Amino acid sequence: MLYAKQRLVVCGLPLLHRVFGALGAVRITLGAREGAQAEPGDVLATLEGDARALLAGERLALNLLQHLSGIATLTRTCVERVRG
């Protein structure tokens, strides 16, 4: 399971299918919508499948989600500040 560790804007979940689809039989169930606000502890996605495939794609998938969600969160914060 992928959990949110802090409040964030979800971004990059469709990439999970690309990363793990190339590695083998991994079933992905999304627990959040792209662009949604997630709170700490929210389940972003559940992944089930071959342990080798999960371990092989884990770091790449997490790096992508962290980077993209960080950009989306910062962007939303800036937009909200400009709106006042």
| pLDDT tens-digit readout, 20-55 | 999 988 999 999 999 999 999 999 999 999 999 999
| pLDDT tens-digit readout, 59-81 | 999 999 999 999 999 999 999 99
Class of domain 2-83: alpha beta
Domain ranges of the chain: 2-83
Task: Report how far apart, in Å, the C-alpha atoms of 25 and of each of 11, 43, 48, 51, 57 are.
Answer: 23, 21, 9, 10, 12
Global pTM? 0.89
